[in-house]
Amino acid sequence: MNKTIIVSNRLPLQISIEGDKLNVTPSVGGLATGMKSVHAEGNGIWIGWSGITSEDLDSDLKSKVNAKIENAKCRAVELSSDDIDDYYLGFSNRTLWPLFHYFLEYTEFEKSHWEAYKRVNKKFAEVVLNTVEEGDTVWVQDYQLLLLPQLIKDVRPDITIGFFLHIPFPSYEIFRTFPWREELLTGMLGADLVGFHTYDYERHFLSSVKRIMRLEVNFNEITYYDRIIKVDSFPMGIDYNKFHDAALAHNNQNTEKSELQKRLDTHINEDNDKKFILSIDRLDYTKGIPNRIRAFENFLNTYPEYKEKVRLIMLTVPSRSNVPQYQKLKSETDELVGRINGEFSTVSWTPIWYFYRSLPFNNLIDLYTSSDVALITPVRDGMNLVAKEYVATRTNQDGVLILSEMAGAAKEMNEALLINPNSFEDFATALNKALKMPLEEQNSRMKILQKRLKRYDVEKWAKEFFKTLDETNQLQEVVISK
């Protein structure tokens, strides 16, 4: 039977060694969370890195790790610590990530990192080529593997290849600064279908293809030698029912409460007027975390009546802590939270509850269902699935989502309160509006958002992608037979 091969830098499960034990944890971030449901449904295999570098694996450990991976319908690409330093921490996260998120000041153009990126993309290609069989479809994910589609196409032109970018594609003016811009575009054009979260990213990509590669672009089709490549936008959804059903089960009186939920309840019971504002992100400079904390401080100063009445619950999930910008961000965040809590706290109130860790799924549901407002304000974000998860868990259709215009998700979530994350005034006005919003208005906004997210969930997203990929293939056949 034909299979679908998903390829991404990380596998959905991450393995680490603890003493003589192997620890298996789910991967964090939008890609892993979203694609997991697609992988679970389909008949296929997921290729990626296990989380352990090859130096840490003797042959005994290796077979144990591989057994765990195979059990989860996955296959590992072995990466050395040099690969991780130069391809992952280096080129992927000190070049492509900041550049594509418009952080030019953080972007490094380091030739040795570029060489490592090429080398590692070839390693991924080798595993894919050893796995793929006639009739299979390969679906390559994200910015760490931009060269992979062409590396596969060169050897197996018969294989259908899709590519999806989970982060923004920047405007031509940004992309053109990149020294190896033509090679990157060529890599992506190995795919038959190139997908983005929003129409804007698609437009930016097409404009770079036209101006840098000087290729013919007809609406959203690129003619490239004897092939036609289709480019389209597919806003990624979530596994809506999983979140909604978990929230329903959580709200059921008979369910045993977690320790976290008991703590949240104590706070709510103290004073019915008290409100929770929730923010959840990976600790990443694109998420605008320090800015959000400062904006919260400004809000408390602008509307002092909310002192002792609201609490910001901030969950930041550790990420890429070996990259210097992330280390700086961690200290800045710690300092800001400390300063603001020091400035405003009273005997009975701390304005910010700050968690730096990842939480299990049931605790996420505790947070989503207990929060009156979700404050999701990245300065730049490909999509942002947390905003969608919050909406899906509001089974009583109450609660307000405040969302940054700079998140891809904003394009489909007009009923949220959309703000410019650089404006403290926008923050303060939106928070005040959200905290005062009549229940009927909350309900009517939530209802529309929920209807849309339920209809266009992650399964539908993947189906649409595959349907378009199929159509692209038929297009190919017509071109070849002409």
- Residue 83 as a binder of ligand G6P (CB under 6 A): the answer is no
Interface residue with ligand G6P among 166, 204, 311, 380 (CB under 6 A) is 166
Q: For the CB of residue 297, give the shortest distance to ligand G6P in the complex, in Å.
A: 28
Nearest CB to ligand G6P, comparing residues 48 and 399: 48
Q: For the CB of residue 80, give the shortest distance to ligand G6P in the complex, in Å.
A: 17
Query: For residues 245-274, which are near ligand G6P according to CB under 6 A?
Result: none
Count of residues that bind ligand G6P according to CB under 6 A: 12
Interface residue with ligand G6P among 319, 333, 393, 450 (CB under 6 A) is 319
Amino acid at 421: P
Nearest CB to ligand G6P, comparing residues 27 and 186: 27
- Residue 314 as a binder of ligand G6P (CB under 6 A): the answer is no
Query: For residues 22-81, which are near ligand G6P according to CB under 6 A?
Result: 28-32
- Residue 320 as a binder of ligand G6P (CB under 6 A): the answer is yes
Residue with the shortest CB distance to ligand G6P = 29
Task: Say if strands 216-218 and 221-224 run parallel, antiparallel, or are unpaired.
Answer: antiparallel
Nearest CB to ligand G6P, comparing residues 66 and 358: 358
Helix 259-270 with 361-370: angle, nearest 10 deg: 10
Task: Say if strands 193-196 and 21-26 run parallel, antiparallel, or are unpaired.
Answer: unpaired
Nearest CB to ligand G6P, comparing residues 142 and 457: 142
Q: For the CB of residue 164, give the shortest distance to ligand G6P in the complex, in Å.
A: 10
Q: For the CB of residue 53, give the shortest distance to ligand G6P in the complex, in Å.
A: 15
For tokens 């300063």, the residue is: 339
Q: For the CB of residue 234, give the shortest distance to ligand G6P in the complex, in Å.
A: 15
**DSSP codes joined into one string, 198-251:** SHHHHHHHHHHIIIII--EEETTEEEETTEEEEEEE------HHHHHHHHHHHH
Q: Quickly count: other Cβ atoms within 10 Å of residue 425's Cβ.
A: 12
Amino acid at 149: P
Q: For the CB of residue 167, give the shortest distance to ligand G6P in the complex, in Å.
A: 5
d(CA 289, CA 93) in angstroms, rounded, equals 18
Nearest CB to ligand G6P, comparing residues 36 and 244: 36
Contacting residues for 22 by C-beta, under 8 A, at least 6 apart: 15, 16, 61, 64, 65, 68
Q: Are 117 and 110 in contact (CB under 8 A)?
A: no
Nearest CB to ligand G6P, comparing residues 142 and 426: 142
Q: For the CB of residue 223, give the shortest distance to ligand G6P in the complex, in Å.
A: 29
Hey, what are 407's tokens?
């998140």
Query: For residues 126-155, which are near ligand G6P according to CB under 6 A?
Result: 142
Nearest CB to ligand G6P, comparing residues 28 and 475: 28
**DSSP codes joined into one string, 119-157:** HHHHHHHHHHHHH--TT-EEEEESGGGTTHHHHHHHH-T
Taking residues 219 to 248 in sequence order and writing x for each that binds ligand G6P by CB under 6 A, - otherwise, the string is ------------------------------
Task: Say if strands 74-76 and 44-49 run parallel, antiparallel, or are unpaired.
Answer: parallel
Q: For the CB of residue 388, give the shortest distance to ligand G6P in the complex, in Å.
A: 14
Taking residues 9 to 28 in sequence order and writing x for each that binds ligand G6P by CB under 6 A, - otherwise, the string is xx-----------------x
3-state secondary structure of 177: coil
Interface residue with ligand G6P among 167, 189, 283, 406 (CB under 6 A) is 167
Q: Quickly count: other Cβ atoms within 10 Å of residue 288's Cβ.
A: 24
Contacting residues for 51 by C-beta, under 8 A, at least 6 apart: 10, 11, 14, 15, 16
Residues making contact with ligand G6P (CB under 6 A): 9-10, 28-32, 142, 166-167, 319-320
